[in-house]
């Protein structure tokens, strides 16, 4: 949020910001910090000495850490969703300040919660950036077909150009659906799990949204960003063309469609009764057979 560079002096900013509420990074690194203090307190006193800048109670000061904390402790800054979004906006605004007019911002992000993406992309939008490209990549594991954030998305951004024109929501809706559906075929060939495709779809949706200075609904009001995140997920669902016994999924009632889509989304499958296994809390697992025996 305070980069030590002059205005318009940097060609590119590449950042991998904290993943919302997935990891409390500074808390985790305190394990190493307290041991490093024992070794380096006299060699690097500004970092590990008793008067180290920002140190508090023998550990690191976490007030400015841009994360969402699951538990809020008394006497500490409240790191809620709004804190995360506002702080990200400040960080991206600082990146915009130091970038040259033709500079690039690259953001690497991954999260299964649409709200995390909503806040990240809104922070980029409010800082004056538009998405110009995106690439999903398997950064955590080589496994395929697994829905556990094995994939992150690299998002290329530029400062929003002058002279963009307005567009109608109907026009941008068509562009978003076309871009996302075109990408789904490639993602499926590359073995991306359905949940990862849903996440990756936000990139092309934001590319279309960012081409225009404003997107207007039929009543003249501005279309919200959330509209296009929802539309991106819908485009993936439609493009996957799920079938049951060779019949299109749309043939079936809404509850059946939801159940089948859920199975596909979370990597589940149907198996014969004798092979099924049901998992219960506290690590209790039962094998179901023709004659069911209570666990």
Average per-residue pLDDT for the chain: 78
Reported pTM: 0.68
Collect all residues with Cβ–Cβ distance below 8 Å to 210 and sequence separation of at least 6: 125, 130, 131, 132, 160
What pLDDT is recorded for position 147? 41
Residues in the chain: 295
Residue 196 to residues 130, 184, 232, 238, Cα–Cα distance (Å): 22, 11, 12, 15
Pairing outcome for strands 277-280 and 284-287: antiparallel
Pairing outcome for strands 243-244 and 247-248: antiparallel
Helix (H) or strand (E) holding 145: none
Percent of the chain residues topping a pLDDT of 70: 77
Residue of 196, 2, 181 whose CA lies nearest to 109: 196
Q: Give the residues across from 13 on adjacent strands.
A: 105
pLDDT band at 281 (very low <50, low <70, confident <90, very high): very low
- Domains of the chain: which residue ranges? 10-52+82-239, 242-295
Pairing outcome for strands 151-159 and 129-138: antiparallel
Burial class, 171, CB count within 10 angstroms (exposed 0-12 / middle 13-18 / buried 19+)? middle
pLDDT digits over 177-222, tens only? 999 998 888 888 887 877 788 888 988 999 899 899 999 999 999 9
């Amino acid at each position: 949020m305070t980069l030590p560079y002059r205005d318009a002096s940097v060609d590119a900013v590449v950042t991998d910001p904290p993943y919302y509420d997935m990891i409390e990074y500074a808390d985790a690194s305190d394990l190493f910090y307290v041991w490093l203090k024992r070794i380096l307190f006299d060699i690097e006193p500004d970092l590990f000495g008793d008067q180290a800048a920002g140190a508090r109670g023998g550990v690191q000061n976490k007030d400015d850490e841009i994360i969402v904390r699951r538990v809020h402790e008394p006497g500490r800054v409240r790191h809620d969703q709004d804190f995360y979004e506002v702080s990200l906006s400040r960080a991206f605004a600082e990146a915009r300040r130091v970038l040259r007019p033709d500079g690039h911002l690259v953001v690497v992000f991954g999260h299964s919660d649409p709200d995390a993406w909503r806040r990240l992309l809104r922070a980029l939008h409010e800082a004056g950036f538009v998405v110009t490209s995106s690439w999903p990549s398997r950064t955590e594991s080589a496994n395929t077909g697994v829905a556990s954030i094995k994939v992150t998305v690299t998002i290329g951004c530029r400062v929003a150009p002058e002279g963009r024109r307005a567009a109608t929501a109907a026009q941008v809706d068509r562009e978003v659906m076309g871009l996302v559906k075109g990408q789904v075929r490639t993602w499926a060939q590359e073995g991306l799990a359905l949940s990862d495709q849903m996440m990756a779809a936000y990139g092309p949706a934001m590319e279309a949204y960012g081409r225009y200075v404003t997107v207007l609904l039929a009543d003249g009001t501005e279309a919200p960003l959330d509209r296009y995140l929802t539309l991106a997920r819908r485009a993936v669902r439609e493009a996957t063309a799920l079938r049951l016994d060779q019949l299109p999924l749309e043939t079936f009632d809404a509850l059946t469609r939801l159940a089948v889509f859920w199975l596909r989304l979370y990597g589940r499958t149907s198996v014969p009764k004798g092979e099924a296994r049901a998992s219960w809390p506290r690590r209790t697992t039962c094998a179901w057979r023709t004659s069911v025996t209570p666990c």
